Chain A
Amino acid sequence: MRTLHTSELTKAVAEMARETNHFLSEDVTRAISRQAKEEPWPVAKDVLERIEENIAIAGKGVLPLCQDTGLACVFLEIGQDVHIIGGLIEDAVNEGVRNGYGEGFLRKSVVVDPLRRVNTKDNTPAHIHYEIVSGDQVKITFAPKGFGSENMSQIKMMPPSAGEQGVKDFVVKVCEEAGANPCPPIVVGVGIGGTFDKAALMAKEALLIPFDEANSDPYYADMEAELLERINELGIGPQGFGGATTALSVKIKTAPTHIAGLPVAVNINCHVSRHAQRVL
C-alpha cells in the first residue's frame, strides 16, 4: 500500500490557493476573450474588455483577480489503496488554506458562526468533500467560491410532474432573478435528482466541469445548450448593463432520485470561475 504524508496535501492546497486567485483556467479565459470579440452591444463589449484587462493584471501575481478570494471549497478523491500518514487530512487541508491565504495576501472571509459572525482570521475552515475512489492516488480540486454569486443560488424540490420544462424554466428564472448581483457573465451549475443535499453538491461540482467538455449524455448536452441560449436571451449582459453575454457556460449533473421527487439546484458562479486540480 502506498503511503502519502499529509504535508504534501498541505503544500498542494497552499499553492493552489494562491494560483487559483491569480490565474484562471484556459477554458474560462478563452470564453471571455471569445465573448469580448463577438459581443455586439458596445457597453457589454467594453465591460468584457476590462475583465480581460483585469485577468492580465492579476496574472502578474501581485493583485488577486477579485477581492473576494472565496471560501475554500476542497474536493478530495482518495484512492482506497493510499495510506495517509502524518495526522488528520482535515487538519492538513486547513493548514494549507491557512498558509496559502496568509502568505498569499488573500482575504480572510470566513466567520466562525453564521449568526455571531466573528472572523476566523485565517480563512479556515475549508469546506471539504471526501470521495473514496479506486487506485492509490489522491486527487485534490481546489475551488475558492465567492459569495456574491453563491448568494444568488437556489434549490427547489419540484414535483415530478414539473418535468423537463419545469426544470428549465426554474434554471432560467434563478439567473434572471440574480440579474446584476452575481457579477455576470456567470457560470451556471445545475444539479438534478438525488436528494436535497445531493442536488446542491452536484450543482457545485457542475461548476468545476471545463466549459469545452461536452456532456456525455446527448439529452443533457442539448439541454445545456438550450439553457445557455435562453439565459443569454435575457439580455442582462456583463455586469447587468445589458448585452448578449449573460452566461459563459451551463453544466448539468444528475443522479437517480425518489419516485416522489425532482430536486433541482442551481449554483451560480461569477466570471472569475476559479478552480485547479492536482494529483498526488
Chain B
Amino acid sequence: MEYQIKEPFTSDKFQELRAGDTVLLTGSIYTARDAAHKRLVEMLKQGEPLPFEVKNSVIYYVGPTPEKPGNPIGSAGPTTSYRMDAYAPTLLDLGETGMIGKGQRGQEVKDAVTRNKAVYFAAIGGAGALMAQRVEHSEIVAFEDLGAEAVRRLLVKDFPVTVVLDSQGGDLYEEGRKAYLESRM
C-alpha cells in the first residue's frame, strides 16, 4: 500500500501501516545519529530538558553533507540504524513515534516499537542526492559543535520511506526476503 502522511506525526496515523508499505512523509522531522543520540540520552539521565519535543517526533538517522550555497541541505541519505539501538528504546518510550534509517534492528528496539505502537522506516541507503531533493528547509536546533552530527529540524515534502518494522511486529527484512524466495520455489 502507498500512503501520504502529514504532521503532526502522532502514532495513530502510523497504526494501519504494515511492513512493506511505502509512505510519503510531509512535515517536520529531526535528524540525529550516533553522537547526538548519546548526548540526548545523557541529558535525560542528568534530568536536563531535551532540545526538541520528542513526543510525536520522527527522527531521521542522517549526517548530511554540507549544503552548497542556495541549497537547503547537502546529500542526505540514511545511516545504518543498529548503532542507535542502545538509545532508541528510551526515546520511543518518551513518545518518539517514528525512526528513519536503514538496516536491521535488535530485539529491544523491535519490542519498543510494538510496545509504543511506533514505526521504523527505511530510506534508500546510498541515495542521498535523491532524498535531499525532498528536503525544503533545514536548520540546526542543537549540538552545532557536532558538525554533520548536529540535530537539525528538516521540513520535508513527500519524503519517500518504506515501512520495515510496524506496530504489529511485522519486519520487512524477514518477510520481504522470505516472500521473494518462496516466489522462486
CA distance A244 to B35 in the complex (A): 36
Q: Does B124 lie at the interface of the complex (its beta carbon under 8 Å from any beta carbon of A)? A: yes
Name the A residues within 8 Å of B76 (CB-CB). 67
Name the B residues within 8 Å of A53 (CB-CB). 127, 130
Q: Pick the contact of A241: B130, B176, B183 (CB < 8 A).
A: B176
CA distance A239 to B62 in the complex (A): 16
Q: Contacts A54-B124, A66-B75, A105-B65 given; 5 further ones with Cβ under 8 A? A: A68-B128, A180-B173, A183-B125, A240-B176, A241-B176
Name the A residues within 8 Å of B114 (CB-CB). none
Chain B: minimal CB distance from A67 (Å): 4
Residues of B within 8 A of A (CB-CB), count: 46
List the interface of chain A (C-beta within 8 A of B).
Answer: 41, 43-44, 47, 50-51, 53-54, 57-58, 62-69, 105-109, 117, 119, 121, 146, 148, 151, 179-183, 234-237, 239-244, 270-272
Name the B residues within 8 Å of A237 (CB-CB). 176-177, 180
Compute the total of residue contacts between A and B using a CB distance below 8 Å. Answer: 158
Q: Does B77 lie at the interface of the complex (its beta carbon under 8 Å from any beta carbon of A)? A: yes
Q: Does B168 lie at the interface of the complex (its beta carbon under 8 Å from any beta carbon of A)? A: no
CA distance A241 to B103 in the complex (A): 10
CA distance A146 to B71 in the complex (A): 23
* B68 pairs with A107, CB closer than 8 A: no
> Using a CB-CB cutoff of 8 Å, which residues 104-158 of chain B contact chain A?
104, 122, 124-130, 132-133, 146-148
Q: Does B29 lie at the interface of the complex (its beta carbon under 8 Å from any beta carbon of A)? A: no
Name the B residues within 8 Å of A234 (CB-CB). 177
* B66 pairs with A148, CB closer than 8 A: no
